[in-house]
Every structure is written in C-alpha cells, then in structure tokens.
C-alpha cells in the first residue's frame, strides 16, 4: 500500500537547538501536509505544500517539498519548550496517509 516514511522516530534537543524531521515516499505525491500533535491532544494542521521545490515559512518553522515531490522536511530553528509534541506529515495519494510521526522533546 501507499506509505509515507518519516524519520527520526524520536528527537531530544536542548532548548535553542534546531530540529528537523523528514518524510519520504516511494511514489510522487500530489501534495503533502504537516500536522502537530501536542501530548494528550489532537493533530493540528500546520501547512500544505503543493508545488515541486516549494519552501514555506511560519515564524521559526520552515517546510520544504522536494523537487521530485517524493520527500518533504520540517525544520524548526531555535526550539522552544512550546514546540514539544509529535509532528506528522500526511502524503496525498488521492487520499491522505499519515507518516509515523516524529516525537520532539525539548529540554529547558
């Protein structure tokens, strides 16, 4: 079946360090979405990327969509404790499949 692989599974950083999570697909995606789920919470939509090579920024978050539309990344600059949570990508294969998520822990 269609799959979106996401790495790493876990990431522990010191506050102020950068963080990156990666999503990879074996097939071309129509678009990709990113979500954040706080501990005990529900996934919250962050952004959608549609175009090949697209880069979008939201404050300290930078989202990239690969040229071949098979991979994507989310980079957080200078993490804060409020960034704690699990970050999911969701690839569009005519319906959306979620990656396994990257759990980010930020030590103050």
Partner 1 sequence: DTAVSQTPKYLVTQMGNDKSIKCEQNLGHDTMYWYKQDSKKFLKIMFSYNNKELIINETVPNRFSPKSPDKAHLNLHINSLELGDSAVYFCASSPRGGNYGYTFGSGTRLTVV
Contact status: 6 vs partner 1 (CB under 8 A): no
Contact status: 48 vs partner 1 (CB under 8 A): yes
SS3 content of the chain, % helix, strand, coil (to 5): 5, 55, 40
Contact status: 2 vs partner 1 (CB under 8 A): no
| Count of residues engaged in binding partner 1, rule: CB under 8 A | 21
Q: Residue from 11, 21, 25, 33 that binds partner 1 (CB under 8 A)?
A: 33
Check if the beta carbon of residue 101 is closer than 8 Å to that of residue 86.
yes
Burial 87-98 (b: 16+ CB within 10 A, else e): bbbbbbeeebee
Binding site for partner 1 (CB under 8 A): 31, 33, 35, 37, 41-45, 48, 86, 88, 90, 92, 95-98, 100-101, 103
């Amino acid at each position: 079946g269609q799959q979106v692989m996401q790495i790493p599974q876990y990431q522990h950083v010191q506050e102020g360090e950068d963080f990156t999570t990666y999503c990879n697909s074996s097939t071309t995606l129509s678009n990709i979405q990113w979500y954040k789920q706080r501990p005990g919470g529900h996934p919250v939509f962050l952004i959608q990327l549609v175009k090949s090579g697209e880069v979008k920024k939201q404050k300290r978050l930078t989202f990239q969509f690969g040229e071949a539309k098979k991979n994507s990344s989310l980079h957080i600059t200078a993490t804060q404790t409020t960034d704690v949570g699990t970050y999911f990508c969701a690839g569009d294969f005519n319906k959306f499949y979620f990656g396994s998520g990257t759990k980010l822990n930020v030590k103050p």
